[in-house]
């Protein structure tokens, strides 16, 4: 018997305008459902959600199954997401359409669980051009819906860019975050919430720094401050090699490294659940990550950067080579002994 469903539960299908009643179970993953016309179906448990449990029926809780329900009325009240996400991060949520998780429109919601005020604007990015789509002002523990797009509209975007200013009693911070959108699939990221909110995907916009992160960044600033470098260098310590390695890790963390960078473009390393995407959507995600990492490498004045794209059908590699030619950047196959045949090295300077 399924631990999620009980016999007698009223359920609705995630990707169809269809309701039914749970009659039994064939396994933990297969539920027997009687639909409205009297037929019974064997349904995967991930394809349905409970709209009214058998316990609620026994208690006499009224149900609206006997009359048609407007689609908008059927959507449960928007939950307070601030109580369900990481309390140290402002996040952008992509919420699917009720009963059309894989095909319907996607709502974008911004959530501020922090203790201060967040203000800013949101832009759609297409071919390196920004178009403002929304402005926002959120107090602590507030959330707002920014806009709604179809999946076809989102396919034309390179990314979503959010510029923000955050302030509280202790600090003031401003910045901009470019986000490659992850589409909602049938994985329940918020299983404690009802459909469609349980399928929402979250993208970090701003994360409050911990004391350790503040200290690490301060150490970098002190070390590479020209005024500080005029002082006499201290005597080398016995574990100098280990210290240099740690400093190198910090430099790479904050995008200051001038050495080669390695970027894995395999889709499994970019998104957690790629099953709900089409091939064209997956390539778009990989290309957006390629562009973003190449931009970072050029800003950081790296000598070169290696992109591991794999072999596959060659479409991703061809798209990367085409863009490198447009940018007049030199490239060559990466070191075979290190990366195999599915990698390209871009020579920046």
Distance CA 163, CA 317 (A): 32
pLDDT along the chain (349 residues), means of 10: 72 81 82 82 84 62 44 64 88 92 92 92 87 91 93 88 88 86 88 90 84 52 57 49 55 50 89 81 90 87 88 88 90 83 87
Whether 28 and 2 have beta carbons less than 8 Å apart is answered as: yes
Kindly state whether residues 153 and 106 are assigned to the same domain.
Answer: yes
Distance CA 71, CA 19 (A): 13
On whether residue 337 sits in a domain, the answer given is yes
Kindly state whether residues 229 and 201 are assigned to the same domain.
Answer: no
On whether residue 4 sits in a domain, the answer given is no
CATH code (residue 17):
2.30.30
Return the pLDDT at 222: 61
* Structural tokens at position 120: 């800013």
On whether residue 2 sits in a domain, the answer given is no
Q: Which residue has the tokens 């759609």?
A: 124
Domain that holds residue 202: 81-207
Return the pLDDT at 253: 52
Distance CA 315, CA 157 (A): 19
Phi, psi at 97, each rounded to 5°? -80, 145
**Domain count along the chain:** 3
Whether 149 and 107 have beta carbons less than 8 Å apart is answered as: no
On whether residue 1 sits in a domain, the answer given is no
Kindly state whether residues 233 and 271 are assigned to the same domain.
Answer: yes
Kindly state whether residues 85 and 195 are assigned to the same domain.
Answer: yes
Is beta strand 261-264 parallel, antiparallel or unpaired with respect to 304-308?
A: parallel
* Angular region, 270: left φ>0, alpha ψ -120 to 50, beta rest: alpha
Kindly state whether residues 203 and 92 are assigned to the same domain.
Answer: yes
On whether residue 307 sits in a domain, the answer given is yes
On whether residue 121 sits in a domain, the answer given is yes
Kindly state whether residues 343 and 215 are assigned to the same domain.
Answer: yes
Return the pLDDT at 221: 58
Return the pLDDT at 110: 95
Query: Final residue of a domain: which of 72, 94, 118?
Result: 72
Return the pLDDT at 225: 62
DSSP assignment letter at 20: E
Distance CA 296, CA 260 (A): 12
Kindly state whether residues 289 and 308 are assigned to the same domain.
Answer: yes
Instruction: State how far Cα 89 lies from the chain centre.
Output: 13
Kindly state whether residues 85 and 187 are assigned to the same domain.
Answer: yes
Kindly state whether residues 228 and 323 are assigned to the same domain.
Answer: yes
Query: Final residue of a domain: which of 72, 101, 120?
Result: 72
On whether residue 3 sits in a domain, the answer given is no
Kindly state whether residues 15 and 119 are assigned to the same domain.
Answer: no
Kindly state whether residues 147 and 191 are assigned to the same domain.
Answer: yes
CATH code (residue 169):
2.60.40.1600
Kindly state whether residues 85 and 174 are assigned to the same domain.
Answer: yes
Return the pLDDT at 269: 86
Put simply, whether the predicted model's pTM sits higher than 0.85 gets the answer no
Alpha helices in the chain (DSSP H): 54-58, 71-74, 151-155, 211-223, 226-229, 240-253, 279-299, 315-326, 336-339
Going by C-alpha positions, the residue among 183, 170, 178, 171 that lies closest to residue 205 is 178
Q: Which residue has the tokens 């499994």?
A: 268
Query: Final residue of a domain: which of 29, 47, 72?
Result: 72
Distance CA 18, CA 145 (A): 27
CATH code (residue 266):
3.30.1370.110
E strand spans, the chain: 10-13, 19-25, 30-35, 40-44, 48-52, 89-96, 106-112, 117-126, 129-138, 142-149, 159-167, 172-179, 201-207, 261-264, 304-308, 330-333, 343-347
Other beta carbons within 10 angstroms of residue 319's beta carbon come to 16
Is beta strand 129-138 parallel, antiparallel or unpaired with respect to 117-126?
A: antiparallel
On whether residue 263 sits in a domain, the answer given is yes
Distance CA 156, CA 146 (A): 18
Return the pLDDT at 271: 86
What is the spatial order of strands in the sheet that 343-347 belongs to?
261-264, 304-308, 343-347, 330-333
Distance CA 46, CA 199 (A): 11
Phi, psi at 281, each rounded to 5°? -65, -40
Q: Is 243 helix (H, G, I), strand (E, B) or coil?
A: helix
Report the helix count and the strand count for the chain, using DSSP H and E.
Answer: 9, 17
Return the pLDDT at 348: 84
Return the pLDDT at 236: 46
């Amino acid at each position: 018997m399924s631990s999620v469903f009980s016999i007698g539960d009223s359920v609705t299908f995630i990707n169809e305008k269809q309701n039914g009643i749970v009659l039994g179970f064939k396994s933990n993953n297969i539920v027997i459902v009687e639909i409205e016309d009297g037929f019974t179906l064997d349904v995967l448990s991930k394809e349905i959600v409970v709209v009214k449990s058998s316990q609620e029926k026994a208690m006499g809780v009224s149900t609206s199954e006997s009359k048609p329900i407007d689609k908008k009325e059927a959507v449960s009240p928007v939950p307070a997401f601030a109580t369900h996400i990481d309390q140290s991060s402002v996040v952008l949520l992509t919420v699917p359409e009720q009963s059309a998780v894989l095909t319907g429109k996607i709502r974008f919601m911004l959530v501020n669980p922090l203790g201060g005020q967040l203000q800013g604007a949101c832009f759609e990015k297409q071919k390196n051009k920004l178009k403002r789509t929304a402005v926002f002002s959120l107090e602590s523990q507030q959330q707002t819906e920014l806009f709604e797009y179809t999946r076809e509209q989102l396919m034309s975007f390179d990314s979503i860019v959010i510029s923000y200013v955050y302030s509280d009693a202790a600090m003031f911070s401003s910045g901009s975050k470019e986000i490659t959108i992850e589409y909602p699939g049938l994985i329940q990221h918020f299983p404690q919430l009802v459909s469609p909110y349980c399928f929402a995907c979250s993208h970090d916009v701003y994360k409050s720094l911990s004391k350790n992160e503040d200290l690490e960044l301060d150490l970098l600033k002190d070390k590479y401050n020209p005024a500080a470098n005029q002082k006499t260098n201290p005597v080398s310590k016995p574990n100098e090699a280990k210290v240099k390695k740690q400093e190198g890790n910090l430099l790479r963390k904050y995008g200051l490294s001038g050495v080669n960078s390695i970027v894995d473009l395999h889709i499994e390393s970019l998104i957690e659940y790629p099953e709900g995407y089409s091939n064209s959507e997956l390539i778009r995600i990989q290309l957006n990550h390629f562009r973003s990492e190449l931009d970072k490498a050029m800003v950081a004045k790296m000598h070169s950067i290696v992109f591991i794209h794999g072999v596959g059908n060659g479409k991703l590699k061809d798209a990367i080579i085409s863009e490198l030619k447009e940018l007049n950047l030199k490239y060559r196959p990466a070191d075979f002994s290190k990366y195999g045949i599915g990698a390209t090295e871009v020579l920046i300077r």
